[in-house]
């Protein structure tokens, strides 16, 4: 085997190991959340859903991917200068008795904080909707 082949083999193995570490890390955090693991300051840990932020002249639109979350399990509010999205994605009843083999979909409590208010310009909550697992939040600008 040529030395270049060994380099490729080693990089592939390193990449596989990094992916495995990432999966283990996600699993640890999910197990900790499920066990109601507590962190300092009395706050429960949470996963953070991904968001997109789109700005127009009159509005900020926030889209957050929270598939599998019922509308009554989501709370959206403005807290100081932050938009706070929080809620919970429970483990489906079908899976409660099973053995954990692979855990890539985050479950349990989630929270996402976005610093959206800058300077003197404020925002107010407009329309909020949940469409096909996508939370859409309208933030209206005012002076």
pLDDT single digits (tens) 52-100: 999 999 999 999 999 999 999 999 999 988 999 999 998 888 877 877 7
> From the CB of residue 128, how many other CB atoms can be counted at a distance below 10 Å?
15
If we measure between CA atoms, which residue out of 111, 120, 117 comes closest to residue 139?
Answer: 117
For residue 139, the Cα-to-chain-centroid distance in whole angstroms is 20
> What average pLDDT does range 101-115 have in this prediction?
84
Residues 126 and 116 sit within 8 Å (Cβ to Cβ): no
Give the domain ranges of the chain.
5-142
Name the strands in the sheet holding 134-142, side by side, starting at the edge strand that comes first in the sequence. 51-55, 59-65, 134-142, 122-131
Reduce the DSSP state of residue 16 to 3 states and report it: helix
For 38-69, b where at least 16 C-beta lie within 10 A, e where not — what string?
Answer: eeeeeeeebbebebeeeeeeeebebebebeeb
Tell me the whole-structure pTM to 2 decimals: 0.67
* Highest CATH level, class, for 5-142: mainly beta
Tokens of 21: 């570490």
């Amino acid at each position: 085997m040529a030395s270049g082949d060994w380099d490729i083999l080693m990089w592939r193995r390193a990449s596989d190991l990094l992916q495995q570490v990432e999966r283990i890390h996600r699993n640890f955090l999910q197990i900790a959340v499920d066990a109601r693991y507590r962190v300092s300051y009395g706050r429960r840990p949470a996963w953070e859903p991904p968001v997109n932020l789109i700005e127009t002249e009159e509005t900020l639109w926030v889209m957050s991917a929270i598939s599998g979350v019922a509308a009554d399990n989501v709370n959206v509010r403005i807290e100081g200068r932050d938009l706070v999205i929080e809620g919970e994605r429970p483990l489906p009843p079908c899976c409660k008795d099973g053995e954990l083999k692979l855990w890539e979909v985050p479950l349990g409590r989630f929270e996402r904080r976005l610093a959206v208010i800058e300077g003197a310009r404020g925002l107010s909550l407009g329309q909020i909707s949940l469409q096909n697992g996508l939370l859409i939040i309208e933030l209206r600008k005012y002076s």
